Amino acid sequence: MRINHNIYSLKIFKNYRRAIAGQNVASRNLSSGIKVNNAADNPYAIDKDEKFNMQLRGLQKVSQNSQDTVSLLQTAEGGIDGISSMANRIRELALQAANGTSNDNNRADSQLEVSQLIDGINNLAKSTNINNVSLLDSDNPNALQCLVGYNAGEAITVPTFDFKTDNLTDASGNKLTDVNISTYAGAKTAINVVDAVLSKIDDARGQYGALENRFNSTVANTDILNSQIQSADSDVMDVDVAGELLEYSKQSIIVQAGTAMMAQANKFPQDVLNILKNVK
């Protein structure tokens, strides 16, 4: 008579090892919060995760570029507001000087303030910049290219404007820098020049305001898309805690049952031997 290997015990042990492995995977997933920890777990999921992360990095850069451009536009608008305030003050003084009740002394005093305001406009035009990019001392409709997408071609052009008083003129070519309201005729000319300046200011404000709205919209849309991609990536990579807890519990029960069954199976050969000893 021959007693073979304990096949029953070996089968139980295989199931036991499989349950231990499953329990370890569930424990690892619960600890990390990620159900795909390496390419061997799920190559497709790893590939999707890489693509999602690449998109997210691109979106973050687009959002940051747009926010930086909004800051630039706000800086430019702040400078334009200051120039507008000084230009309006020059206009007020010119209107006073053009009034028949003003005399030469009044006009001379007002001209002193006008000269100071002109210097102030020049200083503000030259000093309004961000990261050494001048915004108000040169007319350039294609000055800045600001990316709003993943590719180089997805850019919005931001213009700059020249508000130096040498280059602010009316239709007749009279310059703001040469404004002199010490005479009645000079005051009338000053009004025309300032009106042309204010018209240019309105144009710049309109363009910058529209661009700011567009970039703010880009930031908002990018944030929405960012959230959607993160959600999709979470579906691919993040662990289902409830499901993983259930899997861990199931594998734990199998492990415990396997331990008990192996103890019984390992006794089986000895029981057979004991029976054979008693056979006479």
Tens digits of per-residue pLDDT, 129-179? 888 888 898 877 777 888 777 666 778 889 999 999 999 999 999 999 999
**Whole-Å CA distances, 253 to 16, 245, 247, 257, 267:** 10, 12, 10, 6, 22
CATH of range 49-235; options 1.10.150.20, 1.20.1330.10, 1.10.10.10, 3.10.270.10:
1.20.1330.10
Measured between alpha carbons, how far is 53 from 168 in angstroms, rounded to an integer? 50
pLDDT at 269: 54
The pTM of this model reads 0.70
263 CB-near residues (< 8 Å, 6+ apart): none
Length reported for the chain: 280
pLDDT at 246: 66
In the chain, where are the structural domains located?
49-235
Q: Provide the CB-side half-sphere exposure for 127 (13 A, CA).
A: 10
